[in-house]
Chain A
Amino acid sequence: MIDGAPEHPAKKNTDEFLRTLKNYKKLSDYLSQHNGELRILRAAPNSPQLNLCEYYNRTLRSYANEKRHERDVDPNLLNDFKRGSKISSRIDVLKDIIQESLAKSQSSHPQTNSVRTMMTFVDKVIAAKGYLDMHEPM
């Protein structure tokens, strides 16, 4: 499931895009062996509640914020780096924070409650014929 961001291939070019991937053969071999198929679903516009990845993004952001405010990391980001390398050094610190947060996400349990929340939204959207109530807590 992908959304309609400009970096993503257009709907009509999806098959062509997949064939250009280096590891496409791995995918096609697996699918032919297991008699499976690949389907790319386009996410509905302005519907973060219906994308499970949004829930994981929030958790990732929470991990990153926790790391960013740690007593040994916080000074690193704000450090008075050498002239000419201030920004790149700070970007590196941020990258380290993100990589550590991703590693923490990888070792975390699946967010089963997020799946439940998303399915609740799915049911509500179907019942309301596509209407999404943004007042509902995500």
Chain B
Amino acid sequence: MAKFSIASNSTVALRGGKMQVDSTEREILQPNSNDLADIPEGQLYFEAVNESAFGFPEQQRIETFDELVPPLIPFTDDRLNPKEVIPIALPPGVELKPKTTVKYHSRNESAFEQSSHKRMSRSYEEVEINALVRADAEGGRKAYLLVTRALQIPVNTADHIVARARRNPGKVHDHGHDIGSHVDHNSKHDHWADELMIQWLHMNAGLSLPQLLHYLNNEKLRRLLKEEGVEVSDNDVTSLDAKSYLDAYPSIKEKFDAVRIKSTTTIERWLQDMAYTRKHVVAEKTTVNSESSMAARLQYAKAIKQGLLDPSNFWVFFDEVPFYMTMYRTYGYAPKGQRAVVKIPPTSTMSFRTQVPMAVNPQIGYVFGDSFPPERKTSIRKNGTQGKEVFLPTWGKQQFSYFMDSLLDTLFPCN
């Protein structure tokens, strides 16, 4: 069945015949030839029923079927100006398509108009492309331009299709334009590359683009070696001695040079395609998921869940956070090409720590908090004499007791 484009919010009826209508997918399926047999010639036309801006259906007879499909012969084109008409027999399976633009009244009219700025993309089936190529072989450019006209294919597109077919006879289908497949059969972007990059970056987000490129090329070489029957370890991606293998197997070197990735920009593009962005990394200690940590965490999580569900419990969560004198935002605005600069006091970043303990409750939020800045103290030398004055952190067991006392005072002020 041939598919006809139709605007949104439109339904199409076929007077005097049967027609399947699917307005949601904006497609009309042409009835089969048996349905059309009962309809007298000349009475077949389309009628678009559109909702007007006021909600009333507005009927308008648009075009007859003959008008929808322009006659193939004769036609004149200023660019061609043919002296004689070349009859073209369309191959079986190729049908004439109606015009893609249909007159209609719609609130979304502008969205579906085919302007020169916003041309709707269209894919071409293999039979259409074959028709073009065959016409080119039989009658040259004049011939395939006639087919172009009949099939509503833009001239530039037809030129490209024919040029590609002339370059690669027998390979007319462009797999690179298949929907859902951005990987051409000649592409270096192997399907396993994405999976591997996801795995590697999941284990270590700090890998750089050159490292990813190096590992992927090693993996490509490893696969080529295996194809050739060379014994190579499956887990040898990072430490694979590519040079020695390539020196030892010159035939593989040629193949490898054809498929190896040369630029980190390629890796960057592949990551962008997978919605990977560069961001601040979060450090994960190796003990986070150790056996003992996981056991303690599971026990704690169960206790939390059970305890928080009991409304008679009053939870107080406690923790401390350090503040340093050099604290500043790590993101800022600056013109493109310049660094974002923030001024800080002239001290080392981790000195003069002020500890801020805080207690919170799930229902009431903030309960109590305090700050414990460093205090000026005089250091004592080994010989017992007084040394320099230094600022030392004050947060310790004594301060913790003081904080807990203050917290209890806040929780039970009346007693």
Cα–Cα, bound, A44→B411 (Å): 25
Contact B396 A102 (CB under 8 A): no
Q: With A27-B412, A105-B369 as known contacts, state yes or no: A51 contacts B319, CB within 8 Å.
A: yes
> Count the B residues whose beta carbon is within 8 Å of the partner chain — how many?
71
Q: Chain A interface mostly helix, strand, loop or mixed?
A: helix
The interface stretch among B49-57, B159-167, B241-249, B289-297 is: B289-297
Mask: chain A, 117-138; 1 = CB below 8 Å from B; 0 = not: 0010011011001111011000
- Distance from B278 Cβ to chain A, minimum over Cβ atoms (Å): 15
- State whether A44 touches B300 (Cβ < 8 A): yes
Of all chain B residues, the one with the shortest Cβ separation from A64 is: B323
Taking the nearest CB of chain A, how far is it from the CB of B225, in angstroms?
33
Shortest distance in angstroms between A131's beta carbon and chain B's nearest beta carbon?
6
Q: Chain A residues with Cβ under 8 A from B374's Cβ? A: 91
Q: Is B150 in the interface zone, CB < 8 Å from A?
A: no
Given A43-B300, A126-B305, A132-B288, does the pair A53, B294 have CB atoms closer than 8 Å?
A: no
Q: Find residues 326-364 in chain B having any chain A CB closer than 8 Å to their own CB.
A: 327-329, 342-345, 347, 352, 354, 356, 358-364
* Residues from chain A with Cβ under 8 Å of B308 in the complex: 119
Q: Shortest beta-carbon distance, A17 to chain B, in Å?
A: 7
Please report the C-alpha to C-alpha distance between residue A22 and residue B9 in the assembled complex, in whole angstroms.
76
Partner of A125, one of B301, B317, B321: B301
B405 surroundings in chain A (CB, below 8 A): 21-23
Q: A46 contacts which of B285, B344, B347, B363 (Cβ < 8 Å)?
A: B285
Hey, what's the 0/1 contact readout for A52-70 against B, CB within 8 Å counting as 1? 1110110011001100110
Which residues of B have CB within 8 Å of A73?
none
Indicate if the CB atoms of B415 and A77 lie closer than 8 Å: no
CB distance from B181 to the nearest CB of A (A): 29
CA distance A56 to B368 in the complex (A): 11
22 A-B pairs (CB sep. < 8 Å): A8-B400, A21-B405, A23-B409, A26-B409, A27-B412, A44-B296, A44-B300, A46-B287, A46-B288, A53-B359, A65-B329, A91-B373, A94-B325, A95-B354, A105-B369, A106-B366, A110-B362, A129-B298, A130-B289, A130-B295, A130-B297, A132-B288
A: residues with CB less than 8 A from B are: 1-3, 5, 7-9, 17, 20-27, 29-30, 41-47, 50-54, 56-57, 60-61, 64-65, 68-69, 74, 77-78, 87-88, 90-92, 94-95, 98-99, 102, 105-106, 108-111, 115, 119, 122-123, 125-126, 129-132, 134-135
Q: A9-B397, A24-B408 are in contact. List 20 more A-B contacts (CB 8 A).
A: A23-B405, A25-B415, A26-B412, A27-B411, A44-B301, A47-B293, A53-B318, A53-B359, A61-B327, A64-B327, A68-B327, A87-B352, A91-B352, A108-B366, A125-B301, A126-B301, A126-B302, A130-B289, A131-B289, A134-B282
The list of the 10 closest CB pairs from A to B, nearest first, reads A110-B365, A130-B294, A130-B298, A53-B319, A23-B408, A44-B297, A44-B300, A26-B412, A57-B321, A52-B317
Chain B residues engaging chain A, CB cutoff 8 angstroms? 202, 282, 284-285, 287-289, 293-305, 307-308, 315-321, 323, 325, 327-329, 342-345, 347, 352, 354, 356, 358-366, 369-371, 373-374, 376, 391, 395-397, 399-401, 404-405, 408-409, 411-412, 415
